[in-house]
């Protein structure tokens, strides 16, 4: 059927050419031109086909590179997502710890103040104790100096008493001296008693 249509088209074209006054001697040149145009069209078609294949190859290579880069992008995106998840977890843990710290600080604020106050009171008490200790040490030093002075006076009185007692007879001592000696002995006993009470030691 196709051949019949092609034959019919050829016949009609032949009849149309006869009606147009052909053959008129230009058919050969027209055929040459048609063949040249056909050859040129075929060459252009081959070039276009080759160019199309080259473009298709370039497009294919570009698509492969694009797919590979897209795969790398997806891999980096997944890795970035994991990093963000870890970062979010760390930030959440930090926020939770900070909230716990604030809550604990709010609960323990008063005990902390009380502890600071207790420490201040303890320091003040310790300083007061040190002051009392220093005063007592000063008092002890003063008492020791006083005791030493009393001991020296006692020793001097004893020496004087021994000198008086070593006299050969009482007649050699005047009445006034005897009276003064008695007063001195009484003072000596009182002084020895005071020294014993202050120093806590018994003086013979």
Render pLDDT for 59-79 as a digit per residue (tens, 0 to 9).
Answer: 888 888 888 888 888 888 888
CB atoms under 10 Å from CB of 164, counted, come to: 15
Q: Taken in order 46, 52, 58, 61, is the CA torsion positive or negative?
A: negative
Reading phi first (left if > 0) and then psi (alpha if -120 to 50, else beta), residue 167 is in: beta
Give the mean pLDDT of the chain.
73
Return the domain boundaries, the chain.
134-199
- The predicted model gives 13-37 an average pLDDT of 71
Render pLDDT for 103-124 as a digit per residue (tens, 0 to 9).
Answer: 766 665 545 666 677 778 878 8
Render pLDDT for 130-170 as a digit per residue (tens, 0 to 9).
Answer: 888 888 888 777 777 777 777 777 677 667 666 656 654 45
């Amino acid at each position: 059927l196709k051949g019949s249509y092609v034959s019919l088209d050829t016949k009609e074209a032949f009849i149309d050419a006869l009606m147009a006054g052909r053959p008129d001697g230009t058919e050969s040149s027209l055929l040459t031109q048609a063949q040249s145009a056909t050859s040129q069209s075929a060459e252009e078609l081959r070039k276009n086909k080759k160019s199309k294949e080259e473009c298709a190859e370039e497009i294919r290579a570009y698509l492969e590179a694009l797919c590979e880069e897209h795969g790398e992008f997806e891999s980096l995106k997944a890795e970035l997502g994991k990093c963000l998840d870890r970062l979010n977890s760390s930030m959440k843990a930090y926020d939770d710890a900070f909230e716990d710290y604030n809550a604990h600080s709010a609960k323990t604020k008063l005990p902390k103040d009380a502890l600071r106050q207790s420490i201040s009171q303890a320091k003040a008490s310790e300083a007061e104790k040190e002051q009392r200790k220093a005063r007592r040490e000063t008092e002890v030093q003063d008492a020791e100096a006083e005791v030493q002075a009393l001991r020296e006076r006692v020793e001097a009185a004893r020496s004087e008493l021994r000198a008086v007692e070593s006299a050969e007879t009482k007649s050699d001592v005047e009445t006034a001296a005897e009276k003064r000696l008695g007063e001195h002995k009484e003072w000596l006993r009182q002084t020895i008693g005071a020294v014993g009470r202050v120093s806590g030691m018994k003086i013979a």
